[in-house]
Each structure stands twice: as C-alpha cells, then as structure tokens.
Amino acid sequence: MGKVFYRDLKLGVLGGGQLGRMLIQEAINFDVFVAVLDPSPIAPCAKIASEFVIGDIQDFNTVYEFGKSVDVLTIEIEHVNVDALEKLEKEGVKVYPKPSNLRTVQDKGLQKEFYEAHGIPTSSFKLIDNKSELSPNELPCVQKLRKGGYDGKGVIVLKEQADLSNAFDAPCVVEEVVDFEKEIAVIIARNESGDVKSFPIVELEFNPEANLVEYLFAPANVSEDVNIHANEIAEKLINALDFVGILAVEMFVTKTGEVLVNEIAPRPHNSGHHTIEANITSQYEQHIRSVLDVPLGATDAISAAVMINLLGEKEFEGDVFYENLNEVLAIKGSKIHIYGKKQTKSFRKMGHVTVVDQDLEKAKQKAKEVKSLLKVKA
C-alpha cells in the first residue's frame, strides 16, 4: 500500500462542481487536505475546499502549476487539460485516473474503439468527421460528438431524413439505436494495488427531453444472469484500462438480455449518488480510497434507494428557489442534497434527493411524491 494519507497529504481536484463537493464531504472524514481548481469563484466547492484556486482546468499552465502543488491529483470532470496531466505524471505526481485513460474517455470515438479492441460488448458504430458522411440508409441512429459533450448535451437521435439537417457537423460517433429494455450502471473502483470492487447494479430512468438521469433505482430489477454478466464486463473493462479510481459504466440491457456498454465516466457519477446513504461505503469515499491506495471499502447495500435528480424547471432562469422543500423534508427517508448553485436554468443539475427505504417499492412511491412536490424555480 502506498502513501499514508493521514498527515499533511494534499489531494488536488480538477473541477469544483457537485461531485467535488460530495467528495470533499467524505474527505473530511479522512482529514485529507483538498485543493480544488475551478474557473468559477462561486463553484459548489468554493466555500468548503481546504484551498480553492480559481483557474481554467483546460489551460496547460494552470493545470500544471496546480498539479505541482499537490501529492495526488484527481478530477471530478473529465474535460481537463490532459497534456498537463501527462507532464505531471512523468514528473512523479500521482495522477488518478491516469491521463491515458482520460484521453480515451474524452473522445467517444476512442472509447468505442477501446471496447472493440478489448472484446467489451457495445453497440455497432462508425466514426465520421462531418455530417456529409451520414447517409439516409443508416437511419435511425444516434449521433454523438466525439468530444465536449456532457450532461446529455452533444447527443442527438436521428430518426428520419429531415433530422439530418440538425445533425452535428463535426467528428462524431454514429451508433445504431439500441432497442433496450433497461439502462443500468455499474459503479466500480480499483486502487493502485489492483484491488477491484463494484457496487450493486442500479437502474436508470432518463428524462427524454433533457437526456439526463431523472430517477435511479437501487437495486436494479435485473436477472441474476444480467447481474453477473454486467459485473464481469465492468471488471474486465476497469482492468483493461488499468484504471485507478471510480469508474461509472453505463450499460443497456437489450430486450434479448444482452448487456452492452453505452458510455463510461472516469469519476464519481450521477448513478452512484445513492451510495452516500444506501451503501456501507459511498462512491466518493471509494474514490478517495482508490486514489490514495488504501484498502477499498465494502460496497454492500444497507437499504434500497431511489435517487431523484433535482433539475432546474424548464424555462426558469435566475436566483434559485426550491418549492415545497419543507414538505419533502417531512417524507420519511428523504435525504436532500442541494449543490449550492445560486442560479438555476432549464434542466440544470441543482441537487438530488435520495429516498431510502428497506422496501424499494415504498421508496419508489415516495420518490414520485418528491418529484411531484419539489420544483426548482427562480
């Protein structure tokens, strides 16, 4: 096992959003000094980081200088300057996840090629440089920008010829439309010593308009076969990547029971928020354990849970106001997480609520109540 983390260890985090915020909440238990780099002085981490540095996470020098000041460097968003991370890695800074992994994940084309090269099941695809390469006989298909997409942005479903005019005119992955029955996710972690542990599989329900997770159900209602197979895939993938940290693996379960990897995220992820309350170890604590190379924590569920994303109501923009928050606090088992963003806008991720209950069906009912009560307005 590597460096002990209990004396003056400095953990650097690129990005100061809600994922960094929840990471800090757990890091406090380990008394780790957390330095955060983010361009916004009012980022969710600004007031709670041990040290908060304002700067561009995509700028080489800014990232390099920040990285030189810490012992271990990690991320909470993957759109960061990887060249700087590579230089830091060469100079002996521990950078987890590894820059090479970030390069692969930043480019959805490279992601797909990686799956193909390593026998990881995924939907069939082709890579294009611009929209002239799209032909009507490939419809319907999903077009994804190779780079820069996040939170449901950079993805479009092209159904008929008329949609082609809306297609992205940039390097893209073009995928077949998967006729899936469910979307599931495996959150899995690996530390520097190679220990691997995954959390119980969860099921995701998306907001069709915003293409964002709306509900998460834990545990997922899947067959034992799917369960085993999905875990095997996630484990194969994290080892093939020689990955260190938390890896979120989003998958489709097709109507014929096939499991296909959709996308991965090299960090704590929306589909692991519920682990804060519902599992012995949270994904945030597990990420810290992974990158500091201490033994991974037990991932067992201690409760069923439903997670509801609090997205800004469509067409409300400005100073945020949470309608009926008190009513939601009165629901037994509702756990509220407000991310500290002052301004809301359509579908912005402003917080989440996890409802814990030993009975998943009861948790689902309560989650519906939360959803119908709590509105993020301006």
What is the binding site for a copy of itself (CB under 8 A)?
1, 4, 6-7, 21, 24-25, 28-31, 33, 47-48, 50, 280, 289, 294-295, 297-298, 302-303, 319-322, 325-326, 329-330, 332-333, 335-340, 351, 356, 358
Measured over the CA atoms of residue 344, residue 350, residue 355 and residue 360, the dihedral's sign is positive
* Half-sphere exposure at residue 134, Cβ-oriented, CA atoms within 13 angstroms: 29
Q: In the bound complex, what is the minimum distance in angstroms from residue 345's beta carbon to a copy of itself?
A: 17
Whole-angstrom Cα distance, residue 199 to residue 231?
Answer: 9
Q: In the bound complex, what is the minimum distance in angstroms from residue 2's beta carbon to a copy of itself?
A: 10
Q: In the bound complex, what is the minimum distance in angstroms from residue 126's beta carbon to a copy of itself?
A: 44
* 95, amino acid identity: V
Q: In the bound complex, what is the minimum distance in angstroms from residue 197's beta carbon to a copy of itself?
A: 11
Q: Residue 286 corresponds to which tokens in the numbers above?
A: 């597990």
Whole-angstrom Cα distance, residue 161 to residue 140?
Answer: 9
How far out from the chain centre does Cα 77 lie?
8
Q: In the bound complex, what is the minimum distance in angstroms from residue 356's beta carbon to a copy of itself?
A: 6
Across the chain, which distance is largest between two alpha carbons, in Å? 61
Residue (234 or 278) nearer to a copy of itself, CB:
278
Q: For residue 37, what are the CA distances in angstroms to 79, 128, 285, 365? A: 13, 34, 20, 40
Residue (11 or 167) nearer to a copy of itself, CB:
11
Reduced to 3 states (helix: H, G, I; strand: E, B; else coil), residue 88 is: helix
Residue (215 or 322) nearer to a copy of itself, CB:
322
Residue (25 or 106) nearer to a copy of itself, CB:
25
Residue (160 or 332) nearer to a copy of itself, CB:
332
